[in-house]
Structure 1
Amino acid sequence: MGKIWFYMLAIGILGSIFSNNLGELNKVILTEASRGVEFAISLAGVMALWMGIMNIAKDSGLIEKIGQKLNPLMRKLFPSIPPGHKAMSYMVMNIALNMVGAGNGATAFGLKAMDELQTLNHKKDTASNDMIMFLVINISSIQLIPFTMLKVRMDLGSQNPSEIILTTLFATIVSTIVAIITCKMLESRRRYR
């Protein structure tokens, strides 16, 4: 990933040199870098709130109770994970944070879930079906309340930043269903077992 970023930056800098826009590039770097920092700081409060809520929910046992309620669905989606395994609680926390639009906060739980899923993986150099299914659900991610997008829309002056909630919910439900069905269809093929 670092190489990709390096090449993108190098191509942009070389392109601005050859097109005599180096001054414009410097201006954009200086103004946009500060806006990026401002945006990151403004999102930090939302992320801190949801991470704190999820850690309290985990410590209080609420995540375990939610996990038990979701257990029939999670067992169908992840059949090879043993009952009570840590990976399941990390996946539930990740999915819950993604559902409320705190995707950046969900990343830590997603990484922990992948670490735990790797302990169950028999082929350490190949992703297991459960790892792939979790990644697919994580990427498609049903969004009940897309807080990050609401914050972006609010910062950019939208008159009604919450008008996207229903369309976002519909789109993410459809994308998640399609992703799960596709993943399950590929799992059933011998080539992908």
Structure 2
Amino acid sequence: MVNWFWFLLVVSGILVAMVQGKTGVITTAILDGAKVAVETSLGLIAIITFWLGVMRVAEAAGIVAFLARLLKPFLRFLFPSIPPQHPAMGAIILNLSANLLGLGNAATPAGLLAMREMQKLNPRPEEATPAMCTFLALNTACVTLIPTTIIGVRALYGSQEPAAIIGTTVLATACGTIVAVVTDALFRRFYRQR
């Protein structure tokens, strides 16, 4: 549906430009847009590579393991159906650690791995388990302590204070996480009673 919406926007823009006799504007916009996309992509590749390297150093230094120990009691409470030493728990911890550091791109493979491992524990493969639903809610609205990608994009576009968004990001993502966890718990209780 969204693809059709974008298609209609592009076609209507081209038609309006043609009716007004400004077809040169289309070419200019396409070339300018491609230039900005390439520059932004290269900047983001550099930012993501840097922070993935930082994540590897943090992992080698034991920071990720420390974060995992810190999160373990919280995760045991949220995911009681997953055995503590199961690979799904490790993938969940890695995913949440990457999200905490604002590394959404690094969190995605760990999130996919976590879902794959949770599916192995699923007695009814055609339905999502409560743990899967909780993980999806938590992954979608995870607290971000350092929004590294956004800081990098702001720096890339010349922001005077690219890190000025840290406080508001922590507050907004903390609120989102609380709402996601509470809503998940309420829905779980509601559907258990049905």
Question: Which of the five TM-score ranges fits, normalised by the shorter chain?
Answer: 0.7 to 0.9
Q: TM-score scaled to structure 2, two decimals?
A: 0.85
* Residue identity (%): 36
Extract unaligned runs of 5+ from structure 2.
none
C-alpha distance in structure 1 between counterparts of 2:113 and 2:48, whole Å: 17
Q: Tell me whether 1:17 sits opposite 2:18 in the alignment.
A: no
Q: Tell me whether 1:90 sits opposite 2:87 in the alignment.
A: no
Q: CA deviation at 1:38?
A: 1.9
Q: Could you give the per-residue CA deviations for residues 32-76 of structure 1, whole angstroms, max 9, x where no partner exists? A: 122222212212233223434545666787645543432211011
- The equivalent residue for 1:156 is 157
- The equivalent residue for 1:173 is 174
Extract unaligned runs of 5+ from structure 1.
none
Alignment of 1:27-106 (within 5 A): 27-55=28-56, 63-64=64-65, 66-106=67-107
CA contact (8 A) 2:102 2:146 kept: yes
C-alpha distance in structure 2 between counterparts of 1:48 and 1:110, whole Å: 19
Aligned to 1:19, the other structure's residue is in SS state helix
- The equivalent residue for 1:117 is 118
CA gap 1:169/1:4 in 2 versus in 1, 3 angstroms: same
CA gap 1:172/1:64 in 2 versus in 1, 3 angstroms: same
Q: CA deviation at 1:190?
A: 2.9
Q: CA deviation at 1:18?
A: 3.0
| 1:42 partner amino acid | G
Q: CA deviation at 1:183?
A: 0.5
Q: TM-score scaled to structure 1, two decimals?
A: 0.85
Aligned to 2:17, the other structure's residue is in SS state coil
CA contact (8 A) 2:43 2:156 kept: no
Higher mean alpha-carbon deviation, 90-99 vs 30-39, is at: 30-39
Higher Rg of the two aligned structures: 2
| 2:131 partner amino acid | D
Aligned to 2:127, the other structure's residue is in SS state coil
Q: Compute the RMSD of aligned alpha carbons.
A: 2.4
CA gap 1:121/1:24 in 2 versus in 1, 3 angstroms: farther
C-alpha distance in structure 2 between counterparts of 1:62 and 1:166, whole Å: 22
Higher mean alpha-carbon deviation, 54-63 vs 105-114, is at: 54-63
Q: Could you give the per-residue CA deviations for residues 74-93 of structure 1, whole angstroms, max 9, x where no partner exists? A: 01111110120111111111
CA gap 1:99/1:124 in 2 versus in 1, 3 angstroms: same
Higher mean alpha-carbon deviation, 151-160 vs 82-91, is at: 151-160
